[in-house]
Amino acid sequence: MRIIKVDLTHQVITEEEFNQKDYGFLGGRGLIAKFLTDYCDPTCDPLGPENPLLFTTGYFSGTILTTSNRLSIGAKSPLTGGIKESNSGGTLARRMTDHQIKLIMFQGQSKDWVYLYIDKDGKPSLHSAESYVGMDCYPVGDAMRKKYNDRIAIATIGTAGENLGLVSSIMSTEMNSGLPCRGAARGGMGAVMGSKKLKALVIEHSDDPYMIPMTDEQRAEFNELNKKIVNAIYNNPLTGQTMPLYGSAAGVDTTGKMGALPWNNFNGKFTPDWERLGTQQWRKNLIDHGGHGTIPCQPGCIVRCSNEYCDKNGNYLSAGIEYETVALCGSNLGIFDTDHVCTLDRLCDDMGMDTIDIGCALGVLMDNGILEFGDAEGAINMVRNMFSPDSKWGQYLKDGCASVADALGIDKKEGIKRVPVSKRQAFAAYDPRVIRGYGLSWERGPMGADHTSGSAATYIPNLTPEQQADYSLAVTCTCDCFMCLFAWSAVNYNPEARPAICRMAGILQGMEEGPDMSMIDRNGMQILQMEYAFNAKAGITHDQDRFYGGKDNFQYHEKAEATQNVFWSVQNGPLPTPPAPPAAPAKPAEEKK
């Protein structure tokens, strides 16, 4: 396969060969860790020319394995100051593979705005993007489709990335609609792209899409094993039934009942009326307004958790709406109308911003009296006008929750700091006092509070907190090499599917048998160690494994209603006893909505 290197400073494009055998089982996040280790000085300015921006595909891209066409984007993060991999669905990764492209590395900085275009024969070239400057992601998509055709895949930044917002995303086109609604949203990858004056990456569909070559014997074995993966996904209640019907927004029911759904800036209480954002209401609004679900965001996905949402008047509003957005731009702000939530989602997608960090930032602003909880119109206007010269808070909001908290002076005030942030990155939509596994991996993880950083949501007996966090993080590292997290959740814990995917990985290496199943865990741990090593050189070490404000963070002091406990930090050592399972209260707590 091919590695394409784009020197933006000198506008020169070169190519090298990529041989998977040189990289073992690394794909996606693993390749990002490896290439950043080799090509990025961890002490560099993340918005300077020395920070490379990488686009790569998963280990199995170019095979029939479902959800294997994830796009991984990586660089040193301008938000956290550490290593960053941010992944998304959409069509771009498959189009890269169509042209045998494993990795694209952008180095240096362009003087003028450009975009990279890869034609239908796989030939890359740089073009002026001056006429697209100032455009948000949806208009860029429209303009590029008009210029080329409907079959192109696009990754682009909006105005947030152009303005170097530290929580700006890179948005990619979804499969059915071709709209740029799939975001590599975390860690400010959009700002890195903006710092290079790279507006977009456009790839034409190939007439002869590439598939990884196999002998007839290998293909027969691979296809047979793949049936076990398909069965595991279809027979898992989450990936076989719930996700296709409701999408990941179904998570609201689970966390709402547990008391882990954030409400009014993670106040730790059970969210009253969570059903207004729950699966039944969500599905009803989706269908009644003329939208639809059960959409695959990328070619070959059999889970199909994506959706397209229309407003009450039946007009298209947004697509690819996920649990995190519903929770953090919804209940976390005291907003329970799905039209309002999806308006915030659309604004963030269009401007190219992370809905998680923006949702948490708005929550902190509301908690400090800048807006009222439940003021949907105020929140929407604040985001919409973020880059207006009249916007007082836009300059902080564009840099996320930690920046807003700094601007409010929370970092300097005495007392408890109600700021849901770890390593400058905002919490995903799970209260760590209730689902401790996430909190541990957010505290300890190399990328801060990532929604994809820790899948061990429950307490694991006999492991130290550090071991539990590392186990959880390593599992996710491997997942991000192989598949979409949702599909992986059905595969990794299935007694037939886990060995099957292990062997499928071996077939791609040309191995006659194996590898041993422990390869999966070793692979993840190897990636995690590369990430920790990068961060250590960047000055981020484990003695900083604390939430915003250090030991004064609210998570260590305010008890959650569900568990009657504070968050038990990595720093506190093992829990004296496993936490009791949370129970729903007889009567929900009252608080101003």
Q: How far is CA 119 from CA 188, 198, 205, 343, in A?
A: 28, 18, 8, 34
CB of 238 to ligand SF4, least distance (A): 10
d(C-alpha 264, C-alpha 267), whole Å? 6
Angle between helices 338-351 and 355-367 (to 10 degrees): 120
Yes or no: say if 361 and 426 are a contact pair by the CB < 8 Å rule.
yes
The one among 201, 260, 297, 408 contacting ligand SF4 by CB under 6 A: 297
Contact flags string 487-526 toward ligand SF4, x per CB under 6 A: x---------------------------------------
Mark the segment that binds ligand SF4 (CB under 6 A) among 212-220, 224-232, 293-301, 332-340: 293-301
Q: Which is nearer to ligand SF4, 180 or 432 (CB)?
A: 180
Rg (CA), the chain: 22
Q: Which is nearer to ligand SF4, 162 or 324 (CB)?
A: 324
Mark the segment that binds ligand SF4 (CB under 6 A) among 298-306, 360-368, 413-421, 470-478: 298-306
Does 306 bind ligand SF4 (CB under 6 A)? Our answer is yes
Angle between helices 436-444 and 465-482 (to 10 degrees): 80
Does 67 bind ligand SF4 (CB under 6 A)? Our answer is yes
What b-and-e string marks burial along 64-97, b requiring 16 or more CB atoms within 10 Å of the CB?
A: bbbbbbbbbbbbbbbbbbbbbbbbbbbbbbbbbb
CB of 243 to ligand SF4, least distance (A): 6
Does 89 bind ligand SF4 (CB under 6 A)? Our answer is yes
Classify residue 185 by its DSSP letter. -
How many residues belong to the site for ligand SF4 (CB under 6 A)? 13
d(C-alpha 593, C-alpha 590), whole Å? 9
Mark the segment that binds ligand SF4 (CB under 6 A) among 189-197, 300-308, 345-353, 498-506: 300-308
Of the candidates 518, 523, 522, 455, which has an alpha carbon nearest to the alpha carbon of residue 489? 455
Q: Which is nearer to ligand SF4, 482 or 486 (CB)?
A: 486
Q: Which is nearer to ligand SF4, 199 or 304 (CB)?
A: 304
Binders of ligand SF4 in range 172-211 (CB under 6 A): none
CB of 330 to ligand SF4, least distance (A): 19
The one among 35, 486, 488, 568 contacting ligand SF4 by CB under 6 A: 486
The one among 249, 277, 305, 362 contacting ligand SF4 by CB under 6 A: 305
Q: Which is nearer to ligand SF4, 55 or 486 (CB)?
A: 486
d(C-alpha 270, C-alpha 292), whole Å? 30
Residue 362 phi/psi, 5-degree rounding, is: -65, -35
Q: What is the 3-state secondary structure (H, E, C) of 265-305?
A: CCCCCCCCCHHHHCHHHHHHHHHHCCCEEEECCCCCCCCCC
Of the candidates 46, 52, 44, 59, which has an alpha carbon nearest to the alpha carbon of residue 1? 59
Place of tokens 């595969």: 491
Does 296 bind ligand SF4 (CB under 6 A)? Our answer is yes
The one among 156, 271, 298, 494 contacting ligand SF4 by CB under 6 A: 298
Does 113 bind ligand SF4 (CB under 6 A)? Our answer is no
Angle between helices 28-39 and 518-538 (to 10 degrees): 40
Classify residue 203 by its DSSP letter. E
Contact flags string 445-484 toward ligand SF4, x per CB under 6 A: ---------------------------------------x
Mark the segment that binds ligand SF4 (CB under 6 A) among 292-300, 342-350, 427-435, 455-463: 292-300
d(C-alpha 472, C-alpha 445), whole Å? 10
The one among 196, 304, 346, 451 contacting ligand SF4 by CB under 6 A: 304
Residues binding ligand SF4 (CB under 6 A): 67, 89, 296-298, 301, 303-306, 484, 486-487
